[in-house]
């Protein structure tokens, strides 16, 4: 495809700046023969039409053009003549007296990729180029740097190969294969973050296909490695976004299921840390996230469920009471009371949670008198909660005075 762009540039650039060639039928006929051999039908067609402009009676050219038209119709390919005309019209407005077809052909005759790159970079730095011409040259350079990167990688010159792929992307950020190769090269030198960034860029450019599927599988493996590292270091702030990325990236994968297990444990440990500090609100929020993650899993973990039932119930009750009595956030309070009934059904704690839920159902919707009737059990437990809360405040005040 890049070679195709180069040849369009060469032909159309020659049309505009080389009047010597523009009236040479033999030149255009040789170009047409070259494109016939390379299978570039649209460019062959354009060259033959230039021959006819100079020699309208050339019978062999007329016959070949008819054959090309039949082949296009047979293959179901639409002519790109309109596109070529549009490009030609654009280039006709360019002022590029320093550009000529002979110079471009001289560059193309170079067998060394590095010399080709140097030639095209020299042309890119010349004055008088239009934006269209600069873009064409950058696309050519992106492909050439990609070829150079492949050569360097084959010779196990990884640093040079990485530099070549980076330069390819610099010239054309949408050049997919450079992102692809660069990602795996970074993995080889153990720069995981850069490798992941490169493969994520590739996925954005090519979301489907065999290569995309392979890249997705590679990314999942790398995500899990990073998540595991953060998890065992107890760096939960860094671990959480990676786990969420895994579950969003491939929800049904084995890696996503493993991420859910990590996520359950992560929230559980956060809950225990808050519980040990006496922070019932923080403990409740973390335990509740753990419970939600567990419920979303295909099968419940009985051991984890038992740990959650043992440690989350009291924080849920106390935080629910705080929301009910002090914050007057009855909807959220009901959520935590409901969680208690799910974790420990048939227990005194579950019975108390249901009593609070009944009181919430009696709300009259006003701020000044939010509860119509409060059962004896709820009233008694509410007094205990408020008394405990006041004692805790007194303890903190005393410690602060010391």
Contacts with 290 (C-beta within 8 Å, 6 or more apart), sequence order: 263, 264, 265, 267, 268, 271, 308, 312
Find out whether 225 and 232 touch, Cβ atoms under 8 Å. no
> How buried is residue 235: exposed, middle or buried, by Cβ count under 10 Å (0-12/13-18/19+)?
exposed
The C-alpha atoms of residue 317 and residue 284 are separated, in whole angstroms, by: 9
The phi and psi torsions of 113 (rounded to 5 degrees) equal -60, -40
Would you tell me how many other CB atoms lie within 10 Å of the CB of residue 381? 16
Give me the pLDDT at residue 49, please. Answer: 84
pTM for this entry: 0.57
Instruction: Decide: helix, strand or coil at residue 377.
Output: helix
Q: Which domains does the chain have, with CATH numbers?
A: 1-109 (1.25.40)
Per residue of the chain (402 residues), give pLDDT as tens.
Answer: 333 343 344 443 333 333 333 446 776 777 677 667 656 677 778 778 888 888 888 888 888 888 888 776 655 444 444 434 444 443 343 434 344 454 555 565 556 888 888 888 888 888 877 888 888 888 888 988 998 999 998 889 999 999 999 999 999 999 998 999 999 999 999 998 899 999 999 999 988 877 888 898 899 988 998 998 988 888 888 998 999 888 888 888 888 888 888 899 999 998 999 988 888 899 999 999 999 888 877 666 788 888 989 999 999 999 998 898 888 888 899 999 999 999 999 999 999 999 888 888 876 444 444 444 456 667 777 777 777 767 766 666 676 666
* Residue in this structure with the two tokens 């549009």, named with its chain if needed: 86
């Amino acid at each position: 495809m890049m070679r195709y762009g180069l040849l369009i540039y060469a032909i159309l650039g020659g049309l505009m700046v080389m009047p010597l060639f523009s009236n040479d039928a033999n030149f255009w006929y040789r170009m047409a023969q070259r494109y016939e051999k390379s299978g570039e039908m649209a460019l062959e067609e354009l060259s033959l039409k230039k021959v006819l402009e100079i020699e309208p009676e050339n019978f062999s050219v007329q016959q070949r053009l008819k054959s090309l038209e039949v082949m296009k119709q047979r293959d179901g390919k639409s002519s790109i003549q309109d596109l070529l005309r549009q490009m030609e019209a654009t280039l006709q407005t360019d002022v590029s007296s320093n550009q000529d077809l002979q110079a471009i052909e001289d560059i193309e005759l170079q067998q060394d990729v590095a010399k080709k790159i140097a030639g095209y970079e020299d042309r890119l730095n010349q004055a008088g180029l239009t934006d269209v011409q600069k873009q064409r040259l950058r696309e050519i350079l992106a492909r050439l740097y990609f070829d150079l990167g492949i050569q360097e990688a084959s010779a196990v010159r990884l640093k040079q190969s990485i530099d070549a792929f980076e330069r390819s992307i610099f010239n054309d950020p949408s050049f997919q294969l450079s992102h692809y190769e660069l990602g795996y090269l970074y993995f080889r030198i153990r720069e995981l973050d850069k490798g992941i960034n490169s493969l994520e860029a590739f996925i954005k450019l090519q979301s489907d296909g065999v290569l995309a599927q392979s890249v997705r599988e590679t990314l999942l493996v790398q995500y899990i490695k990073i998540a595991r590292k953060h998890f065992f270091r107890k760096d939960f702030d860094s671990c959480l976004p990676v786990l969420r990325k895994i579950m969003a990236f491939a929800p049904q994968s084995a890696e996503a299921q493993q991420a859910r297990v990590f996520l359950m444990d992560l929230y559980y440990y956060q809950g225990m840390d808050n519980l040990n500090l006496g922070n019932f609100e923080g403990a409740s929020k973390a335990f509740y996230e753990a419970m939600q993650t567990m419920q979303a899993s295909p099968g419940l973990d009985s051991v984890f469920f038992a740990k959650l039932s043992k440690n989350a119930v009291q924080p849920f009750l106390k935080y629910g009471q705080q929301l009910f009595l002090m914050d007057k956030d009855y909807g959220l309070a009901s959520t935590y009371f409901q969680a208690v009934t799910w974790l420990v059904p048939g227990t005194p704690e579950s019975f108390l949670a249901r009593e609070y839920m009944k009181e919430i159902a009696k709300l009259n919707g006003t701020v000044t008198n939010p509860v119509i009737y409060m059962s004896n059990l709820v009233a008694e437990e509410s007094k205990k909660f408020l008394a405990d809360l006041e004692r805790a405040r007194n303890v903190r005040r005393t410690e602060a005075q010391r």
